[in-house]
Structure 1
C-alpha cells in the first residue's frame, strides 16, 4: 500500500512538473516582451540582461512607459490598428456568413459531389501563401481593387476553407430530426438553417470566428504586398515592421516590444471573454448521448 502511494504521488509530481515546464515555455516569451517594453534604451543595453527593468546605476527596479507613449504617438501604428480591426473583422464576418451557408449545405443537404467538394475545401488549406501570392497580386491589379478590399478577399483564401470545414462537422452532428420537424411545421430550408440550426452552432461560430480573426489580425505577407503602394492601408504587423526609432540611428527594440504587447492584448481579451464558448466549441461532439 505504501509503495502504491509513492507511485501515485510520483506520477502526480511528474505531471505538475511537466505542466510547469510547458507553462514556462509558453508564457516566458510574452513575459520577456512585456519586460523589454518597460525598459529604456540604456536598460536594454545592460549586460548581463535583467529579468525586470532596473536602473543602470543604482540597480533599483525602474520600469518606464515611454515606449508605449512613443508607440501611440506614431500615427502609422494607430492607423495600422484601425486598418487591422476593419480588415480582420470584415474577413471574419464574411468567412462566418459564407462558411455557415456552405457548411449547412455540405453537412445537412444531399447532392452529388458533396464529398469531393469537402476534400477540395480541405486541400485549399494546404497551399502555402507564397505559392498563390504572385497570381493573386496579378488578379488584384487587373481588378484595380483597393488595398483593404484586396486584403479582405485574399484573407478569405485561408479563413473560409477552415471555417467551412470545421462548421460542416458541427452541422453533421446536429440531429436530423430537427430538420424533419421544421419541414413538417412548414419551415423552408433557409428558415430551418437560420432559426433552428444556426443558433445551436453558436460555440462553433465563436471558436472558428476567433481563430479566423486571429489569423487575419496577425497576417503579414499579403498585407505587406498589397499595401506596398498604399501606406495608409498598412495593418499593424506591417506598421511594426516599418518602425523607426524616435532618435536617429536608433534600433527601436523597446518600441517594437511595446507595440507587440498592444497588439496582443485585444486577442487575449477576446479569448478571455469568449473562453466558455471556445471550450464548448472545442469539446462539442466529443461525448455522444
Structure 2
C-alpha cells in the first residue's frame, strides 16, 4: 500500500505532463483562431480572446478553396487506407500462418524498412511517378502512402493473427470455406481491434503527410490539406489567425474519427503490445 501511494504522485505528474503536452497546443490553436490580428499581436499577451469571432473561419474558406483541400485529403487518405489494409492483411496472414523459414528475418526487414527517412525516398518515388505519368493525380499519392504505411500495419496485424487459433480456420474450411474465405470470414473479424488500429494509423499518416503531397501534385485543385494551408502565407504577410482556423478545421475530422473508434483503437494497441 505504501508503494502505491509513493508512486501515485509520480503517476499524476506524468499524466499531467502528457495531458498538457497533448491538449495545450490544440487549445492554444483554437483560442488563436477566435482572435483578431490586432489582439494576437497585443502585449502583454492575452490567453482568452476578448471578443471571440468566427471571421477567421469564414476567411479560411474564402481566401483559399479549403473545402477542396479537405476533399482531396479525405479521398487520398481513404483510398490509401483501403489499399494498405488489403495488402497488409494478406502479408500479415502469410507471415502468421505459413511455415516460413526466415520469418524472423522478414519481420526484421519490415521493421528496418519502416525506419527509412522519407526524404531519401523522394527522388526515386518522383522519378517513378513521372515515368508512369501519374504526377498530378490521386494515384501519385495513394501508391506511396500505401507503401509507407505497409510496414507498421503489417506488424500490427501479424501480432493479432498470431493470437487467433488455427483450429477456427480449419473448422471453417471443413465446412466449405476456402482459405481466402476463412481469412475474411473468421480471422479478420476476430482481429477487428487490430484492423481498426491499422486503419487509423494508415489514415492519419496519409492525412498529415506533406512532403510527397507538395512534390507530386502541382495542380492547385489537387492540393491536400497540409499543402493547401501553406498557401495562406503571403510574401509579406503571415495571417496566423486564419491559418489557425484552417488548422482547426483540419484537426476536426481526425478528432471525430478518434472519438468514434477510440475504444477499438485503444484495445487494439493494448492487445497488440501484450501479444508482441
TM-score scaled to structure 1, two decimals? 0.88
Indicate conservation of the 8 Å contact 2:156/2:198, yes or no: yes
Judged with a 3 Å threshold, the aligned counterparts in structure 2 of structure 1 residues 14 and 129 are, in CA distance, closer, same or farther, namely closer
Judged with a 3 Å threshold, the aligned counterparts in structure 2 of structure 1 residues 19 and 113 are, in CA distance, closer, same or farther, namely closer
Judged with a 3 Å threshold, the aligned counterparts in structure 2 of structure 1 residues 51 and 107 are, in CA distance, closer, same or farther, namely same
2:157 corresponds in structure 1 to 167
Aligned mate of 2:206, from 190, 193, 216: 216
How far has the Cα of 1:287 moved from its partner? Answer: 6.3
How far has the Cα of 1:16 moved from its partner? Answer: 2.1
Aligned mate of 1:30, from 26, 46, 53: 26
TM-score scaled to structure 2, two decimals? 0.92
Q: State yes or no: 1:121 paired with 2:110.
A: yes
Considering Cα pairs closer than 8 Å and 6+ residues apart, tell me whether 1 or 2 has the greater RCO: 2
What is the CA deviation profile of residues 113-148 of structure 1, one whole-angstrom value per residue up to 9, with x for unaligned ones? 444333322222111111010011011111101432
Judged with a 3 Å threshold, the aligned counterparts in structure 2 of structure 1 residues 285 and 250 are, in CA distance, closer, same or farther, namely closer
C-alpha distance in structure 1 between counterparts of 2:126 and 2:265, whole Å: 35
C-alpha distance in structure 1 between counterparts of 2:273 and 2:211, whole Å: 36
How far has the Cα of 1:172 moved from its partner? Answer: 1.0
Judged with a 3 Å threshold, the aligned counterparts in structure 2 of structure 1 residues 196 and 134 are, in CA distance, closer, same or farther, namely same
SS of aligned partner of 1:187? coil
Correspondence list, 1:54-93, <5 A: 54=50, 62-93=51-82
How far has the Cα of 1:19 moved from its partner? Answer: 2.0
Number of equivalent positions: 274
How far has the Cα of 1:198 moved from its partner? Answer: 1.0
How far has the Cα of 1:275 moved from its partner? Answer: 1.1
Indicate conservation of the 8 Å contact 2:194/2:272, yes or no: no
Unaligned runs of 5+ in 1: 55-61
The structure that has the greater radius of gyration is 1
Aligned mate of 2:17, from 6, 14, 21: 21
C-alpha distance in structure 1 between counterparts of 2:189 and 2:82, whole Å: 16
253-262 vs 153-162, which moves further = 153-162
1:277 corresponds in structure 2 to 264
C-alpha distance in structure 2 between counterparts of 1:120 and 1:17, whole Å: 38
Judged with a 3 Å threshold, the aligned counterparts in structure 2 of structure 1 residues 241 and 11 are, in CA distance, closer, same or farther, namely same
Q: State yes or no: 1:39 paired with 2:26.
A: no
Judged with a 3 Å threshold, the aligned counterparts in structure 2 of structure 1 residues 175 and 137 are, in CA distance, closer, same or farther, namely same
C-alpha distance in structure 1 between counterparts of 2:268 and 2:7, whole Å: 31
Judged with a 3 Å threshold, the aligned counterparts in structure 2 of structure 1 residues 202 and 8 are, in CA distance, closer, same or farther, namely closer
Considering only aligned residues, what root-mean-square deviation do their CA atoms show, in Å? 2.1
Judged with a 3 Å threshold, the aligned counterparts in structure 2 of structure 1 residues 287 and 87 are, in CA distance, closer, same or farther, namely closer
How far has the Cα of 1:8 moved from its partner? Answer: 5.7
2:193 corresponds in structure 1 to 203
C-alpha distance in structure 2 between counterparts of 1:268 and 1:105, whole Å: 33
Judged with a 3 Å threshold, the aligned counterparts in structure 2 of structure 1 residues 14 and 159 are, in CA distance, closer, same or farther, namely closer
C-alpha distance in structure 2 between counterparts of 1:9 and 1:43, whole Å: 45
1:130 corresponds in structure 2 to 119
